[in-house]
Amino acid sequence: MVHLSIQQVGKTYDDGTEALSSVSFDVNKGEGVVLLGHNGSGKSTLFRCINGIENTSSGKILYNGQPIHDLSKKEIREVRKNIGMVFQQFHLVGNLSVFQNVLFGGLGKSPSSISVFGPFAKQEMRMKALECLDRVGLIHVSKKRADSLSGGQQQRVAIARMLMQEPELVLADEPIASLDPSAGKEVMDLLWSVVKERGMTVICTLHQPEIALQYAERIIGLHKGRFVLDQQTSQLDDTRFEWLYEKNLKNLSKEVISVD
Ligand SMILES: Nc1ncnc2c1ncn2[C@@H]1O[C@H](COP(=O)(O)OP(=O)(O)OP(=O)(O)O)[C@@H](O)[C@H]1O
Ligand SMILES: [Mg+2]
């Protein structure tokens, strides 16, 4: 079942930068996709268009058949409740506790935002937050300030917060770029296992093709805002990714789908 359909999406920023150019692909429910591409290839822009933070300049984005490119702000907020985000810089609230940060994840879906917090938080939400923290192995630090944790732990809190939200689709934008290899592996193992066990769809950007191959079922590549690679991982080996990072695609092999 098609979950997300990107149809000839273009994005040109006000300053004239063309970040995306006629990008098209579909993602099925439950797929685990890694999005690769050099710095500035348009990966984060595409994520911002998918969750409606940024308007597209052309084309269509359908999420469960709903046209993201054509919804009101209120409608987009509703859709966004089902899209979880994980960022390179974690985006936790540093001076709140780990537990409160995870409760935050439930804000969107709680009938009353205020009821989620502090002593007023509903018991059910608090139990759920503890379960999410337990799943990421951090229940023992639940009372600590979020900014007192290591980078790897903070990213695991961000994953617990995302679990609290119970999204259908997870967009992870360079979730391990700020982490050392060992913490990065822990975070990728955790992220991939939680999304798979809950049947979530995930699109994750990475800068390491060799890591992409370990997790993704499918790899998509962007180059200068164009969609240039779409392969099932089982059909790929890492040596075939080098061309994706070439500045000039002219001399590249036939895997390139469409270039100038
Ligand atoms: N708000 C903005 N205004 C103007 N140009 C922008 C804006 N945001 C991004 N860009 C430009 O759009 C292009 C794509 O940027 P984007 O951040 O989407 O790339 P990326 O693939 O996520 O890169 P990275 O790997 O460095 O995170 C780049 O040329 C960037 O400079
Ligand atoms: Mg980016």
Mark whether 176 and 58 lie in a shared domain: yes
pLDDT at residue 119 in the model: 61
**Number of domains making up the chain:** 2
In a domain, 209, yes or no: yes
The DSSP symbol for 120 reads G
**Residue identifier of the C-alpha nearest atom 12 of ligand 1:** 19
Please, are residues 223 and 244 in contact by the beta-carbon 8 Å criterion? yes
Of 116, 134, 164, the last residue of a domain is 164
Q: Are residues 200 and 77 in the same domain?
A: yes
Is the CB of residue 5 less than 8 Å from the CB of residue 56?
no
Together in a domain, 5 and 78: yes
Same domain, 77 and 102: no
Q: Are residues 239 and 260 in the same domain?
A: yes
Residue 97: both structure tokens together: 């506790």
Residue nearest (by alpha carbon) to ligand 1 atom 4: 13
User: Confidence class of residue 244 from pLDDT cuts 50, 70 and 90?
Assistant: confident
Is 87 within the bounds of a domain?
A: no
238 pLDDT above the threshold of 50: yes
**What's the Cα-to-Cα distance from 149 to each of 126, 143, 167, rounded to whole Å?**
21, 11, 25
User: 41 or 120: whose pLDDT is higher?
Assistant: 41
| Residue 123's pLDDT band (cuts 50, 70, 90) | confident
One domain for residues 146 and 212: no
Read off the pLDDT of residues 163-190 as tens digits, 9 standing for 90 and up: 999 999 999 999 999 999 999 999 999 9
Tell me if 230 is assigned to some domain: yes
State the average pLDDT over residues 21-38: 97
Contacts of 252-256 spanning 24+ positions with Cβ under 8 A: 255/229, 255/231, 256/223, 256/228, 256/229
Q: How confident is the model at residue 247 (pLDDT cuts 50, 70, 90)?
A: confident
Domain boundary among 164, 185, 206: 164
Please identify, by atom number, the ligand 1 atom nearest to the C-alpha of residue 42.
18
State the pLDDT at residue 105.
85
Question: Span 121-150, mean pLDDT?
Answer: 94
User: Is the pLDDT score of 260 beyond 70?
Assistant: no
Same domain, 33 and 19: yes
Asked which of 102, 131, 164 is the last residue of a domain, the reply is 164
Answer whether residue 99 is part of any domain. Answer: yes
Distance 45 CA to ligand 2 centre (A): 7
3-state secondary structure of 72: coil
Are 258 and 185 members of one domain? Answer: yes
- Based on the fold, state whether residues 104 and 124 are members of the same structural domain: yes
* CATH number of the structural domain spanning residue 198: 3.40.50.300
CB within 8 Å of 49: residues ≥ 6 apart: 9, 11, 20, 55, 56, 61, 68, 69
Shared domain check, 156 and 171: no
Report DSSP state, residue 260. -
User: How much is the pLDDT for 253?
Assistant: 45
Please give the single-letter amino acid code of residue 230. D
- Nearest Cα to Cα of residue 14 among 57, 48, 76, 78: 57
Q: Is 6 a residue whose pLDDT tops 50?
A: yes
Q: How far is the CA of 177 from the centre of ligand 1 (A)?
A: 16
Instruction: Confirm or reject: Cβ of 77 under 6 Å from ligand 1.
Output: no
Full-model pTM: 0.92
Q: Could you report the per-residue pLDDT of 220-230, keeping only the tens digit for each?
A: 999 999 999 99
What is the predicted pLDDT for the residue at 182? 96
The residue whose CA has the least distance to atom 15 of ligand 1 is 40
CA dihedral 222, 225, 228, 234 (to 10 degrees): 20
Q: Are residues 156 and 115 in the same domain?
A: yes
2 lies in the same domain as 69: yes
Structure confidence at residue 234 (pLDDT): 83
The residue-averaged pLDDT of 198-209 equals: 96
Structural domain of 43: 1-82+167-260
Question: How close are the terminal C-alpha atoms of the chain, in Å?
Answer: 32
Give the pLDDT score at 258: 39
pLDDT for residue 107: 77
Q: Is 221 in the pocket of ligand 1 (CB under 6 A)?
A: no
